[in-house]
Chains A and B, each alone.
Chain A
């Protein structure tokens, strides 16, 4: 089930809300667990058993690791092999097979495997939990139900963020609910939903229209990659907002996942602001265990390359994602060892060049075929002598101009700062008491209209 659907907004969420708040406190985790399992079953019925297996297996392995004194490492290795083995089977098996076929000119038949939605998220969460138990950084969950509640929690189950057990450990046992928290959660959820439905989906439609143009132009390629970058940003950060908001409604405080990454002054900063739960996961569970930057420059370069190749691969089983990871690894290395000082001294150049480098990264992210990536890059620098613009490009630019402007304004914290400024003002605060809830309700109705009438509402996480 996706958040941007009538089913979720007007059926699942009210029922879940009703059950959760009507039932005594001690049963609330079980209500959340049941709701989360139904949430997953609704969208991915066939693979509900994979999710349940992951809950039971990881819980009991963590318990065993915690109890064991001598076989802790072995148990950890077995757990990781099974967790990542499952992820490999579902996500990478056919990709590996395809490469073997290409490399050795064999013709081994592919398996009919459908990727279970959210498997990368729940595998990474489960792995981080078991590793944290192994490192004695967290205690194992009290029982399998509590752990399953954590792992399957529907706000973050299929599209992240990757929530660490330590973040919600206390709240799984006891958490407070207040009108303020519920209202803040609802507001955050709705803003995220608006980002997804009103900005990301519309810019996604623009990309499709530009992609289908029979007559392209230099401007149409730039417009497409800008729209695509915004689409991905507003879709991913919108989902994170929705997850954080839903978590708040039910008493959980997830960590922030996006912090205005598109206004970064360097790629290093970009990755501190973009999908933070993923980058910190790779930092804490791969980069640092490999030695990080503590074992000399050569080892550090090697570690950075490993981390970014795996980060790329996490986004999808395809060579373009590996290339995407490698692209960032090279940029990060160059920043670290070559031009960091230059960027620090020239902030405007740093902003502009970082934004352009981010745009280029999404050319690699967008197309699976290396030929398509190559052609797109060629057209961005007009090697194919396209006209600068044409009627079609101008039409679509005008058609989506306001949405693009909204997307540009939303790149930075300016609207948020303005809101806080108004809210801190004596009169502004009073006006917002009435105006804000009404504005949010209108936003809910507008979003509902777009969901009902929309033909383009993609779920971009299907390959994660």
Chain B
């Protein structure tokens, strides 16, 4: 009896999922994991010989497995509740908020970051004002001395040593843990008042506070949400707008088309943070036709910049937004749309996680 039951309980699910997997329509993306799912590989003799063909089939079977997300949840529940792990997939839950554990301080990565930006800017013999800010991740504000902490002081000191020619604007005291989403690594635009004040002051911009209308869009599930089972409710993205922002045009160089500063519908993208400046883009040119100033700004940024840059639009006639993760620094000089002149501010705006893993910057 026990033997037959054992066979049914083990062989049964194997066959059930075998047939289910065979007849299931393959999905294209996993919104939960924020990535494309593997598809059936194309058969090529070379790919058989170098073992990549069947390895792609393994990826396909794993990615397209029926109830994939449910199985991932089972794994998370077992890890946290039975194995009593403190983290799951590198994410911890503290005070109803999710934190991605920092990688250890990577000095090579920090040097890669500073060298790349120095080389890029040195090509143009600029005499402009060059400012830089390091955006702390929310772990900086986590008050828990049982969790490994990145050495922020060394990171900042290393960058300051390499960026001596530029003006450092520290934002560490202008933020707190409420400045970030509970399920995401990013900051909230509506919590950037102090950051904006500090930037404007240090960059000698208008110190008058602008008036905005606060709009919102939901549901927002952050990047960390699906990496660990949690009971945090879906969040809302709030964003600030006014006439100037509404009338600004955003030219997307890759897509060769104009976009809006905020695209509410993008809340349904793999990354809901794409609401701001349509998310990751190699190069965007924002023009403020109602600008009173002739000044321009060039920003080298990562995804944190997407929500901050709209709040700087009214200060400039034109903002050129460059993301070196998608645009190679060596290619910049070939792009006509990027114009360098003296009446420009230059801002380097990068977050700690990107600086500490900067090899994606080209």
User: What is the interface of chain A, defined by CB distance below 8 A to chain B?
Assistant: 1, 5-7, 9-11, 13-15, 17, 41-46, 178-180, 182-184, 186-187, 190, 202, 212-214, 391-392, 394-395, 398-403, 432-434, 436-438, 440-441, 444-446, 448-454
Interface stretch (choices B10-18, B203-211, B312-320, B331-339): B10-18
Interface contact A445-B58, CB-CB below 8 Å: no
Interface contact B58-A6, CB-CB below 8 Å: yes
C-alpha spacing A155/B84, complex, angstroms: 33
C-alpha spacing A44/B21, complex, angstroms: 25
C-alpha spacing A451/B78, complex, angstroms: 13
Residues of B close to A212: CB separation below 8 A: 103-104
State the interface size on chain B (CB cutoff 8 A).
52
CB distance from A81 to the nearest CB of B (A): 29
Is B29 part of the contact surface with A, judged by Cβ < 8 Å? no
Cβ-closest chain B residue relative to A114 = B51
Interface contact A10-B61, CB-CB below 8 Å: yes
Interface contact A399-B87, CB-CB below 8 Å: yes
Residues of B close to A182: CB separation below 8 A: 3, 7
C-alpha spacing A44/B53, complex, angstroms: 11
Complex A-B: 5 CB contacts under 8 Å:
A5-B61, A6-B58, A10-B65, A44-B51, A448-B65
CB distance from B17 to the nearest CB of A (A): 5
Interface contact A437-B6, CB-CB below 8 Å: yes
Interface contact A42-B54, CB-CB below 8 Å: yes
Residues of B close to A17: CB separation below 8 A: 11, 14
Interface contact A452-B2, CB-CB below 8 Å: no
Is B215 part of the contact surface with A, judged by Cβ < 8 Å? no
Interface stretch (choices B114-122, B144-152, B292-300): B144-152
Interface contact A445-B86, CB-CB below 8 Å: no
Residues of A close to B15: CB separation below 8 A: 14
Interface stretch (choices B66-74, B246-254, B260-268, B343-351): B66-74
Interface contact A452-B8, CB-CB below 8 Å: no
Interface contact B75-A452, CB-CB below 8 Å: yes
Interface contact B75-A394, CB-CB below 8 Å: no
Is B62 part of the contact surface with A, judged by Cβ < 8 Å? yes
CB distance from B16 to the nearest CB of A (A): 9
Interface contact B87-A186, CB-CB below 8 Å: no
Residues of B close to A451: CB separation below 8 A: 62
Within 8 A of A (CB), among B16-58: 17-18, 21, 48-51, 53-54, 57-58
Known: A10-B21, A212-B103, A433-B2. 18 other contacts (CB 8 A): A6-B61, A6-B65, A10-B17, A11-B18, A13-B14, A45-B53, A182-B3, A182-B7, A184-B3, A391-B145, A391-B146, A391-B148, A394-B146, A433-B5, A440-B9, A441-B13, A449-B73, A451-B62
CB distance from A275 to the nearest CB of B (A): 27
Interface contact B84-A11, CB-CB below 8 Å: no
Residues of A close to B72: CB separation below 8 A: 449, 452-453
Interface contact B62-A5, CB-CB below 8 Å: yes
Cβ-closest chain A residue relative to B62 = A6
Residues of A close to B10: CB separation below 8 A: 186, 190, 437, 440-441, 444
C-alpha spacing A184/B68, complex, angstroms: 28
With A213-B104, A402-B83, A403-B83 as contacts: A43 and B54 at CB distance below 8 Å: yes
CB distance from A185 to the nearest CB of B (A): 10
9 cross-chain pairs, A with B, having the tightest CB-CB distances, nearest first: A449-B75, A183-B3, A441-B9, A449-B74, A183-B6, A437-B5, A437-B9, A214-B104, A449-B71
CB distance from B123 to the nearest CB of A (A): 33
C-alpha spacing A172/B17, complex, angstroms: 31
Query: Which of A44, A187, A452 is close to B65, meaning CB atoms less than 8 Å apart?
Result: A452
C-alpha spacing A9/B62, complex, angstroms: 11
Residues of A close to B57: CB separation below 8 A: 7, 42
CB distance from A333 to the nearest CB of B (A): 42
Interface contact A453-B9, CB-CB below 8 Å: no
With A179-B7, A399-B87, A400-B85 as contacts: A453 and B14 at CB distance below 8 Å: no
CB distance from B145 to the nearest CB of A (A): 7
Is B4 part of the contact surface with A, judged by Cβ < 8 Å? yes
Is B157 part of the contact surface with A, judged by Cβ < 8 Å? no
Residues of B close to A11: CB separation below 8 A: 18, 21, 61
C-alpha spacing A400/B71, complex, angstroms: 21
C-alpha spacing A454/B90, complex, angstroms: 12
Residues of A close to B105: CB separation below 8 A: 214
Interface contact B75-A446, CB-CB below 8 Å: yes
Residues of A close to B17: CB separation below 8 A: 10
Residues of A close to B21: CB separation below 8 A: 10-11
Interface contact B84-A9, CB-CB below 8 Å: no
